[in-house]
Amino acid sequence: MIDSITIKNFKCIDNETLNFSPLTILTGANSSGKSTVIQGLLLGLKYLQYQSQDMSRIAQYRNLIDNFMSYDDIYNRRVGRKNVSIDVKFKMPDPLGLKYSRFDYDNNSDPTISGDSIDKNNTNTLLLLGNSFYYVSANRQGPASIEQVGFERLFKPDLSNMYSVFEQNKSEPIHESISNERAHSPMLKHQVSYWLSQILNMNNGIDAKVERIDSNFVRLEYEFEDIGSVSPFNTGTGTSFLVRLIILCLRAKPTDTIVIENPEIHLHPYSQSKLGEFFAYLAQRGIQIVIETHCEHLIHRVRYEIYKQRLNHEFATIHYKSSATTAFETIHINQGGHFTDPDGVERGFPSGFFDKSLMELLEIG
């Protein structure tokens, strides 16, 4: 799990340290620096990639990381050609303790990537660091009915192999700590169907049915209780984005970290809110969720889950950035569901977010 990140002179961030909770929300204006934090995390994981050839999941992010490995592309142009550094601290389960990785770059030399005294021969430690981190890109796979079979442990950032993962694991129980007793059984297929129905508000139920066509391909259809089987191309686009995300999240285990860009895309406001409930459910049970979002419905639902005592108020942190030239504001949520500053004093949310539509509605009268 991620404990914190310190970023210096990287893109639009001058010098900031952000602490991470079980549920961490990055939000704010477009092009303000939210994605920069996620890119910093990926660069921090570059150290782990260098330590072992067996870390297959980290290798999936290599092309993404290489897109911002050039000094001229990443230095903060408002402060000049200074050293760029990113420190990521990981909160490891006992007895491993706290570990970190560091990315360091100046305009006169190649980047250096280092870390603490992780024993390179301790493959369990290395694999724990690498195989417990998942990144979901905003540029991810939409509707598709057929997918090529892939190696089931390899989670791609665009989630383009989730049908294959689902087909190979659908009858396996998910981790007991996140298994919802309201589902038909602990098996992945029943847990996916439960959350898909809940988030989409399908009172009649919806099942994601996947089957192997041959040795190379699988097919997915949605089974509705009232109308039967329907192709993903004949249901809402948001359903296809959502089912892949649910499969990934329910394959996770406690102490894993899942970083998701814009989880709410193509979803109705009701479903966006229920997605906040889903993330709160996972975070309360030990899976670290880091999301970048612009969705007020999702954020309000997290507040509500805290208010209803279904999420510990200490488990949620919001980092808000209003522009590329301002620093992040850290916002917490108290037991009553109200926003507070880091000292626990109640405060409002930064202007121009929740209040924007309200001001226009008040003007309309």
Residues 42 and 155 both lie in one domain:
no
Residues 75 and 215 both lie in one domain:
no
**Three-state SS at 167:** helix
Diameter over CA atoms, the chain: 68
pLDDT for 62: 62
**Three-state SS at 290:** strand
**What is the residue range of 309's domain?**
1-132+253-365
DSSP class of residue 159?
Answer: -
Residues 174 and 66 both lie in one domain:
no
Lowest mean per-residue pLDDT among 164-168, 246-250, 292-296, 360-364: 360-364
Residues 38 and 89 both lie in one domain:
yes
CA dihedral 216, 217, 218, 219 (to 10 degrees): -160
pLDDT for 219: 92
Q: Which of 234, 251, 268 is the last residue of a domain?
A: 251
Lowest mean per-residue pLDDT among 20-29, 234-243, 298-307: 234-243
Residues 185 and 303 both lie in one domain:
no
Residues 21 and 51 both lie in one domain:
yes
Question: Are 172 and 187 contacting, i.e. CB atoms less than 8 angstroms apart?
Answer: yes
Mean pLDDT of 140-167: 82
Residues 205 and 347 both lie in one domain:
no
pLDDT for 148: 86
Residues 6+ apart with CB under 8 A from 363: none
pTM over 0.85: yes
Lowest mean per-residue pLDDT among 1-10, 49-58, 97-106, 324-333: 49-58
Average of per-residue pLDDT values in the chain = 85
Residues 17 and 128 both lie in one domain:
yes
Residues 144 and 244 both lie in one domain:
yes
pLDDT for 95: 42
The pLDDT-based confidence of 117 (bands split at 50, 70, 90) is very low
Residues 270 and 328 both lie in one domain:
yes
Which residue did the predictor score with more confidence, 245 or 99? 245
Q: What domain count does the chain have?
A: 2
Tokens 């109308």 belong to residue: 227
pLDDT for 276: 97
Residues 211 and 341 both lie in one domain:
no
Tokens 């602990």 belong to residue: 186
pLDDT for 93: 55
The pLDDT-based confidence of 130 (bands split at 50, 70, 90) is very low
Q: What percent of the chain has pLDDT over 70?
A: 85
DSSP string, 314-362: GGEEEEEE-STTSPPEEEEE-TTS-EE-TTS-B-PPPTTSTHHHHHHHH
pLDDT over 80 (residue 113): no
Q: Which of 251, 271, 293 is the last residue of a domain?
A: 251
Lowest mean per-residue pLDDT among 13-22, 50-59, 315-324: 50-59
Mean pLDDT of 98-110: 74
Residue 248, strand partner residues: none
Q: Which of 251, 275, 296 is the last residue of a domain?
A: 251
245 residue type, one letter: L
Residues 188 and 241 both lie in one domain:
yes
